[in-house]
Structure 1
């Protein structure tokens, strides 16, 4: 007998959705349910090997059960939008697999499965996690039931259902009649749950027999059965799956194609189901994907290598991928010639190849298409080659197209994203460039790409090469000082504790604090050795401040002092790396070491900046810092006249806000009121909640809520602006900056409250933080360009969010200050004047 797999589409999509983390492809399309569903489908095909498959779905309309009981399924929550959007994808996938989708108005998926299981002379295997389907089990029908997750299943039939569930298939409906089904809002009998229902059916066999022997039942159970008799029989009607309606299908309609064809493979590529793509056995490998014919040069001797060089020299544009292990080139659009393999794998000498490529890579008239231009420039610089005329960096373009996509990617990853299986990286780069170029144009991102991000890459490369000089003598003295203090602190802590223990072990430290010394913590807090708890119990025992100090000093010592010492080059410089394609807001980040993260709220943290000095004798460090740029943007974007006026008149914006909210004259604003107003101003920028504000400034949640309400009453345009950002993002799924940078925020439409409110805060903040990032990046590009045109020796060496740091050469101070102020303050035309604070000093610390 041929096998017929009948799948509960709705049930398994729901199960996959909640079993797997939220997955999305490069375009931000959520697909975790489809991915899980596809995996379950492949498992069924491979293990059961059916000849026929049907996938049944509900039609989102009321049916005959609602006519009987209006509240049928009335307690179900709406399908989350993140899942709802995946049903069309699943059905598209099934169509490409040539698997029949079965839907019919008036019947639920359960009914369709029931009818199909009785319509044909086949061995039926129903795949569902819905126990209602157990009633369909007979000599020709079994249920493949997921026990755990989405892949561990048990096959249930006449021989083992009772052992598994406690009843025979014919008794499932009677069981449901008594216990009801909360998921479908089937009431059953009040006070009778699954255990009692199983006992009753086990003893009496059927619902009818339960009522025929009602006098044998006593107590509350009897009363409930009598009072709910009509309800019990209604529940039986609701729980009974339709099996006798003939559906308009022939058995041949359920034949399918396996292994899957190229359409399925392309769909899996689009949604980046990479683990499925790696399973060659599920695809028909006789199908050849049509690809553009590209002439290939196989370089296996010096003459052919020279032929390739001749082509490259004539090219207007080339794509190149290169490192110490791989070199692959595509000669641009007018020649369409690529190397058929890694040049180095054919035995071409690397140094000889570089000698031939050097004039081509340095030629300004030949445009270059690359992946991660900054890294390639560093690599080639080490070979004494200057890479000129980078026209397109696929890594930067990819980042602008989707700023929340996985950031730590290789070209191979990006090729997989875009459906390339070839090892001809150069050819793939050119094709990916065309695709990304079209997307940048469609998304109106050309200005951001060509005016800001691509030229910024050149500056960041220069900054990384330049580095930041460190006073090695001071650093080494600080290392000795910190090491000695750590040794003394350890001794003091052990003496205080009366024993040696691992100070970094939460368990051992907790035993000392809470078991040995019986230190009490606040009643609403759990026992912990985190810094929040330690600060609260600091005055309860002399050991606690010692531990706090020990933690502070060891972190500075290990992260910064030793970190800096290990990274110094032979000129006593640290060369941090600036990450251009990492953050979703467009901000730069730095690493190895992270100079943006040097703590500045503690004296020791601030003192670390004293280590950084000019690279030239008699030089100076210059710091140019935007003043309250995000608040100025908020005033300008919201068109709030009070804020605009306050900024343009040079008022103290925090004092002004304190005056507005607390209802006092400006002259009566105390430092404490100003502090609270400052927290409110910056909190509003980040979409802060009343709880967050209460924690920040130490007031009650009710007071914080009132302050936020007062703030929006005084600045109504700001509330309107923030709400409009949220609504725009909710409608389109993304938000933009002043220069059109796009941040997708899928969280904003989540059915989960915490995730949704995170999305709302991100929608409020992104246009401000992201626009501030765009502005300082554009200013950096303009300053770099002017420094070069005027042939200054001064260099931009660090960017920390709103601050630029310049290593100023002797004699160039006034010119550097003028270039910084003029470009930073006039980089964009706003209704609020941008303001820059510029300071200088012999160290980075002195320049603040």
Structure 2
């Protein structure tokens, strides 16, 4: 029995996979759906066919001997999408890791490599392809696994199956294309002869030569076509024939491969997050042998008595480092021992109570000199706080590390997700922290993220935890007054709406409101067939009926009332009179913090009613102050510093009004003649530039034509050419690398920048322009928070940092510490980073948050 050689048409298979599967991207933004599909069918081939040899044939380029013969060969094909083109290097990397031979040679196609291999070796050959051209290669020792649909449905073709489906012998595939041509390869054939006619000729005359040898038996227009196009038919015959005698280096032994796969394949699958393949343990048997042997040596204990706790403490003091996971129970790994304390009551295996366990380990938990690696540091701090314990000496948090490495992925990542992603044993919750630390630490080093992790994100966690437990005091009297005020106005506006409508209805029902507006009041709804009552629709109807203004007003007040007044009343802690928010450190791809439950970063500031809400936020100290410290135009200052544009840098150094200066330059007037409207428009231009705004976007913002907006943008860049150069350089860097970085190394992967869709690609370019600025601003305020917190702690201040809102910090200030706090905030925030443009901070304060702004 002959050994099996699988020959894969690499271009065909990756193309099929690319179009069959959604555009999967890993955390680095690298699209790899084609390679994933390729790997999936390759694994299936190995498992089902069990070949001794595998070789992958790839096209080298567009220029081949066929294009020399016929320049239009394959000339009608669309270009390969960038999202697919970028996957060929990834495919080569995977094949190299697998030890699978892959061949590409200048001047010939993958088909010719396949044809040559089928005739070079004395093997049973299996061609894997979605291209029917390869049917011509079928013989008694070569058959085709044809990918019929996507990468999962295949049909096997030998001579019998080919004749059954097409009524042709293998060599007649060439004859068929000679007559009917091939639109996909732009093989001309005989003009006017289609598949049906070509088949009828072959059934009768068998070959192209047979057709022309019996040309006199053929009559009418068909005969004319054949005679007129004989030269093209003969050319097509040559073009359609796969060469079987090409010269390239490949011995049969070169096509041997390693299976089960090595550790390098495992690492490759992890990098590209081929999770379904990672779950197939049988693929990586040899790669995991050493790890399995180590895991089998780990001693596991259930914490059942004080003696075991004493053993844990002894081990920790000896090792000076341990791994702690409080996800779904307590797991602690130290040395080569894993200790577990379940949160579930197990009568057969009684265990120590949580409180007894934590209190016993309080000293080692709080010892700065004993290193700890954890999952979700902030969550652990909150859990330990119940027992009046803190956790010091934390040197690694796998949750934070993964966020920095994979910030484009889902934010609600679980520990189990991490284990699955990294193909780790689900049975070892604490030991796997050690494995994850090794993996993520290596990733952080490779991506140059160690400074960001060690100096910003990890120390920030404790700052955020302390802000969360301090909370923000609410004045109950003020919130009660606001409740009565808004409730009264809602009643009044509701009645006014009912009077104008001539009936009462549910104002919170879009359906009922639509019926009132468009059926009862007969307001014009144009193409609005669904009778939408969205804010856009209502704004368009403002001049049509007085009821519209009332409805808009009702919605504004109703939202403030339900979202802030009523919701906050429920959230006020009865004992402390405070509201406690949660700061999300691992949510955004730019590094910005967010706030939830409730969101205190989203208190409205544009409307008078929104601003009034801030009156309920007050100091917790008697006669105290709320202090606000806000970076002034930080992203514009960063733009000046990073672009190196001297004109912009000097403007900031002089303390110029940057918006007035831009207005003067763009509108061509002296700076003293700049109107308030000009300054507002210039402000829109300045901040629009940061966000890569288009001429259309700017025209919408300032109410002008696209042409005028384009002229403004062009004038801005003409004045500050290095700004334009800097923005363009961000785009080019992102196109080349798939990501951009902040000043401190934070990475944001932007797969959109390589998308074939113009609008999506434009979005990617805007992200590439803005992220280094917005992300750096986020990093800066995080550094500032750490410095402010540490200094307040060092100086034993009673005042507390309680809130961060983008470029602003809020402090609950003890009255005698006001001068210290205002000076401290300005000093630490302005000096936390040294740039070509000095950062500027505005500090204000008041008896409540409203006054502080």
How would you bin the TM-score normalised by the shorter chain? 0.7 to 0.9
Assess, with a 3 A threshold, how the Cα gap between structure 1 residues 299 and 545 changes in structure 2: closer, same or farther: same
Return the match for 2:786 from 771, 776, 781.
781
Return the match for 2:680 from 671, 675, 678.
675
By how many angstroms is 1:533 displaced? 4.1
Return the match for 2:846 from 835, 838, 841.
841
Give secondary structure in 2 for the equivalent of 1:845.
helix
Return the match for 2:373 from 369, 374, 378.
369
TM-score by length of 1: 0.86
Return the match for 2:195 from 181, 198, 222.
198
Point out the more displaced range, 622-631 or 136-145.
136-145
Contact (CA 8 Å) 1:119, 1:246: kept in 2 or not?
Answer: no
Rounded Cα–Cα distance in structure 1 between residues aligned with 2:170 and 2:338: 65
Match of 1:15 in 2: 16
Rounded Cα–Cα distance in structure 2 between residues aligned with 1:164 and 1:598: 69
Contact (CA 8 Å) 1:116, 1:247: kept in 2 or not?
Answer: no
**Deviation sequence 1:6-56 (CA, Å, 0-9, x none):** 432111112223333443445555432221111122334455666765432
Match of 1:338 in 2: 337
Give secondary structure in 1 for the equivalent of 2:823.
helix
Aligned ranges for residues 610-759 of structure 1 at < 5 Å?
A: 610-750=615-755, 752-759=757-764
Contact (CA 8 Å) 1:110, 1:133: kept in 2 or not?
Answer: yes
Assess, with a 3 A threshold, how the Cα gap between structure 1 residues 679 and 88 changes in structure 2: closer, same or farther: closer
Assess, with a 3 A threshold, how the Cα gap between structure 1 residues 708 and 763 changes in structure 2: closer, same or farther: same
Aligned ranges for residues 6-45 of structure 1 at < 5 Å?
A: 6-26=7-27, 29-45=30-46
What root-mean-square deviation, in Å, do the aligned CA atoms of Structure 1 and Structure 2 show?
4.1
Rounded Cα–Cα distance in structure 2 between residues aligned with 1:55 and 1:637: 47
Match of 1:466 in 2: 470
Aligned ranges for residues 410-425 of structure 1 at < 5 Å?
A: 410-421=414-425, 423-425=427-429
By how many angstroms is 1:466 displaced? 1.0
Rounded Cα–Cα distance in structure 2 between residues aligned with 1:180 and 1:528: 54
Assess, with a 3 A threshold, how the Cα gap between structure 1 residues 494 and 126 changes in structure 2: closer, same or farther: farther
Aligned ranges for residues 193-272 of structure 1 at < 5 Å?
A: 197-205=194-202, 209=211, 212=215, 230-243=231-244, 260=261, 264-272=265-273
Match of 2:57 in 1: 56
Rounded Cα–Cα distance in structure 2 between residues aligned with 1:704 and 1:420: 55
Point out the more displaced range, 719-728 or 358-367.
719-728
Give secondary structure in 1 for the equivalent of 2:325.
strand
By how many angstroms is 1:838 displaced? 2.2
**Deviation sequence 1:700-758 (CA, Å, 0-9, x none):** 22222211111111122222222333334444444333333333445445555444433
Give secondary structure in 1 for the equivalent of 2:851.
coil
Point out the more displaced range, 15-24 or 303-312.
15-24
Point out the more displaced range, 448-457 or 99-108.
99-108
Match of 2:812 in 1: 807
Rounded Cα–Cα distance in structure 1 between residues aligned with 2:39 and 2:421: 18
Assess, with a 3 A threshold, how the Cα gap between structure 1 residues 347 and 212 changes in structure 2: closer, same or farther: farther
Rounded Cα–Cα distance in structure 1 between residues aligned with 2:704 and 2:199: 61
**Deviation sequence 1:508-550 (CA, Å, 0-9, x none):** 9499749994725589x99965433442343345565455445
Match of 2:301 in 1: 299
Give secondary structure in 1 for the equivalent of 2:194.
helix
Match of 1:328 in 2: 331
**Does structure 1 residue 598 correspond to structure 2 residue 597?**
no
By how many angstroms is 1:583 displaced? 2.1
Unaligned 5+ runs, structure 1: none
Rounded Cα–Cα distance in structure 1 between residues aligned with 2:227 and 2:40: 48
Assess, with a 3 A threshold, how the Cα gap between structure 1 residues 537 and 39 changes in structure 2: closer, same or farther: farther
**Deviation sequence 1:556-610 (CA, Å, 0-9, x none):** 4444344434433223322111122222222212222222223333344333323
Unaligned 5+ runs, structure 2: none
Contact (CA 8 Å) 1:297, 1:304: kept in 2 or not?
Answer: no
Assess, with a 3 A threshold, how the Cα gap between structure 1 residues 71 and 502 changes in structure 2: closer, same or farther: farther
Give secondary structure in 2 for the equivalent of 1:607.
helix
**Deviation sequence 1:583-639 (CA, Å, 0-9, x none):** 222221222222222333334433332332222332222211111111122223333
Return the match for 1:453 from 450, 457, 460.
457
By how many angstroms is 1:677 displaced? 1.1
Contact (CA 8 Å) 2:9, 2:129: kept in 1 or not?
Answer: yes
Contact (CA 8 Å) 2:133, 2:173: kept in 1 or not?
Answer: yes
Rounded Cα–Cα distance in structure 2 between residues aligned with 1:236 and 1:717: 58
Assess, with a 3 A threshold, how the Cα gap between structure 1 residues 89 and 643 changes in structure 2: closer, same or farther: closer
Rounded Cα–Cα distance in structure 2 between residues aligned with 1:282 and 1:26: 23
Match of 1:535 in 2: 539
Rounded Cα–Cα distance in structure 2 between residues aligned with 1:213 and 1:556: 90
Assess, with a 3 A threshold, how the Cα gap between structure 1 residues 717 and 287 changes in structure 2: closer, same or farther: closer
Point out the more displaced range, 370-379 or 259-268.
259-268
Match of 2:130 in 1: 129
Give secondary structure in 1 for the equivalent of 2:810.
strand
Point out the more displaced range, 103-112 or 834-843.
103-112
TM-score by length of 2: 0.86
By how many angstroms is 1:312 displaced? 1.5
**Deviation sequence 1:147-166 (CA, Å, 0-9, x none):** 44332344556677689779
Give secondary structure in 2 for the equivalent of 1:288.
helix
**Deviation sequence 1:751-775 (CA, Å, 0-9, x none):** 5544443333233222221222222
